[in-house]
Copies of this chain bind each other. A is one copy, B any other.
Amino acid sequence: MERNDNAFIKESLQDANHTDVSELLEEFDAENSKFILNQLDEELCADVINDLDTEIRIKFLKIFSPEEIARYLDHLDSDDAVDILNELPAKAREEVIPHIKNEEKVKNILDLLRYDEDCAGGLMAKELIKANINWTVIQTIEEIRRQAENVQKIYSVYVVDDQDVLLGRVSLKEIILTTDTRKISNIYEEGIKSVPTYMPEEEVAALMAKYDLEAVPVLNVQGQLLGRITIDDIVDVITEQAEEERQLMSGISEDVEEDDSIWMLSRARLPWLIIGLAGGLLGARFIGIFEADIRQIAAIAFFIPLITATGGNVGIQSSTLVVQSLANPSAFDEDLFHKMIKVFQVAILNGILLAILVFVFVMIINDRDLQLSMVVSVALFSVVVIASFLGTLIPLILEKAGINPALASGPFITTANDLVGLGIYFTIIHFLYT
């Protein structure tokens, strides 16, 4: 690039996969990337821009004029074009749209911009092949030919009636194998799965995964075919969900990656660390109430980490199982009452086993102090049961309140459990021991 060797750049990148080119561009600054893109043909550029990491693309498109952006969007599917438009500032968005040349695409884009980004309507692409139920196979092939340039991946042809209401589908295999003069009505498959525009993306992902669908049609409330969602978008949804959940579980509050700046990494971690700190200081204040007890028998301080750690571990285990069952709901889920009964049974079983272990060990390490052993065991048992209860209930409450329940497996529950554990421990100690 330093040598301005345009021909070399063009030659080496023109035949490369667009995903690889965009990965390469992420290492350059916006100016240099633009320089490289200008050497390539427009369609490849459009795919490269589409593959860029969102944050990099936002920075990158700032140095492009509305005309240039529109020229690239002209080559993309409507859903990808809308995703990119949604990232632009509102003003830039309004400036870009009138420059898109393909009128049908403009109509599709304006249509898609109405939908929420994280529901089926926001995920779908308008590009698809549909056939009227009264057509013959040859008419359908003509339609495929007409749309061939717009629709990159065709899995099947959707069959609709005169009002555009979805009736079923015909696979491309079927179209190849049947005679051209047959009616679509004789070969189409009825009763296929579809989703309404307002279905949340997590539910669309779960449905497509469950029924092994590579594409699913999206309908409005009248049952009319509006678009389709393809599996590659769903793979992204599933991956993002897992990443978001992982960050929530570990108390990272923004979407950061290892190679972000030090300040961003620090800021993403601080909120939960400060909440944890506040919990710890509250705990310190609480333990302070029992200063006289600790002065009298220092041994009660030895078991503070044991109690808080066990409470945290039990709470996270419980909430993880709830989060998991919320993510993969089964048609035959037990009701809340039976769920809680079971949680208590498991907790009591584990609580008894752990209490016995601790009783034996405290007897051994603390010179057969029977009373201390008893008190620590009883406190541990109570902590296991109450932490199980809270760990199960809190994610359910969060889910009802519309908050991602994975939050309950993070530092939130650990901090809450630390305080509850300390409360139980010192209360039992105070009344039964000192």
Residues of A within 8 A of B (CB): 15, 17, 19, 23, 26-27, 141, 144-145, 148, 153-155, 171-173, 175-177, 191, 193, 208-212, 214, 231-232, 234-236, 238-239, 241-243, 245-247, 249-252, 256-259, 262-263, 265-266, 269-270, 272-274, 276-277, 279-281, 283-285, 287-288, 291, 294-295, 298-299, 301-310, 312-314, 316-317, 319-325, 330-334, 339, 342, 345-346, 349-350, 353-354, 357-358, 361-362, 365, 409, 411, 414-415, 418, 422
Min CB distance, A274 to chain B, in Å?
A: 7
- Which residues from B are CB-within-8-Å of A312? 312, 414
Q: Which residues of B contact A262 (CB under 8 A)?
A: 342, 345-346, 349
Q: Say which residue of B19, B323, B330, B415 sits within 8 Å of A259 (CB atoms).
A: B330
- If A211-B17, A294-B301 touch, whether A320 touches B250 (CB-CB below 8 Å) is yes
Q: Select which of B281, B307, B313 is within 8 A of A361 by beta carbon.
A: B281
**Oligomeric state, in copies:** 2
B238/A231 in contact, CB under 8 A: no
- Interchain nearest-CB distance for A29 vs B (Å): 14
Shortest distance from the beta carbon of A43 to any chain B beta carbon, whole Å: 15
With contacts A153-B214, A294-B298 taken as known, whether A280 is within 8 angstroms of B256 at the C-beta atoms is: no
Interchain CB contact under 8 A, B236 and A209? yes
Taking a contact as CB atoms under 8 Å apart, the answer to whether B358 and A266 are in contact is no
Given B141, B324, B414, which contacts A313 in the complex, CB threshold below 8 Å? B414
